[in-house]
């Protein structure tokens, strides 16, 4: 995807922080040399095409709710089926295949730890596969978004 300088600036400037203004897209537009309408159209089309997943908040799960990173060791030929099984849980918000014996890695989030544990247990039972539960012990980095 090719971005104009203004679009690049828009994406780089607003991954951290939304203008707290009745017309936030007008504020974004002004700082990037675009019109409010252009910003709205761009964001809508990026969201439609999947470049942007949403404009919103990334919750700090050390403060709100509970989450964990988990991994399954899936036989190569079963990966599609198992991935689908795992993704079907609303509590799973990231699900990636990675190069390792533990080859399916996913993040679970829920309002309570009890719910996270229950979903893990269900995944373990449904798949019958070895599962790693690796909750975060300590975070050393702020989530800064991506420099484009």
CB 40 within 8 A of CB 47: no
Residue 30 Cβ, how far from another protein at the closest point, in Å? 14
Region 5-44 residues binding another protein, contact defined as CB under 8 A: 10-11, 14-18, 20-26, 36, 40, 43-44
Residue 127 Cβ, how far from another protein at the closest point, in Å? 14
Tell me the three state secondary structure of residue 104.
strand
| Alpha-carbon gap, residue 77 to 64, rounded angstroms | 37
| Alpha-carbon gap, residue 148 to 142, rounded angstroms | 17
81 binds another protein (CB under 8 A): no
What is the strand order of the sheet 131-134 is part of? 104-110, 66-72, 131-134
Per-residue binding string, another protein, 119-148, x by CB under 8 A, is: x--x-------x-xxxxxxxxxxxxxxx-x
Residue 17 Cβ, how far from another protein at the closest point, in Å? 6
- Taking CB under 8 A as the criterion, the residue among 56, 75, 76, 77 binding another protein is 56
94 binds another protein (CB under 8 A): yes
Residue number, 33 or 96, with CB nearest to another protein: 96
| Six token digits for residue 42 | 């761009």
| Alpha-carbon gap, residue 89 to 53, rounded angstroms | 19
């Amino acid at each position: 995807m090719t971005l104009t300088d203004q679009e690049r600036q828009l994406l780089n400037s607003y991954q951290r922080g939304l203008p707290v203004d009745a017309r936030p897209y007008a504020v974004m537009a002004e700082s990037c040399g675009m019109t409010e309408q252009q910003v709205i159209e761009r964001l809508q089309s990026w969201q439609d095409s999947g470049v942007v997943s949403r404009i919103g908040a990334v919750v700090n799960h050390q403060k709100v709710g509970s989450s964990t990173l988990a991994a399954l060791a899936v036989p190569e030929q079963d990966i599609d089926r198992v991935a689908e099984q795992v993704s079907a849980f609303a509590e799973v918000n990231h699900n990636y295949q990675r190069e390792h014996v533990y080859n399916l890695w996913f993040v679970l989030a829920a309002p309570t730890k009890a719910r996270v544990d229950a979903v893990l247990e269900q995944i373990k039972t449904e798949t019958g596969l070895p599962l790693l539960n690796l909750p975060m012990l300590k975070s050393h980095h702020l989530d800064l978004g991506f420099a484009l």
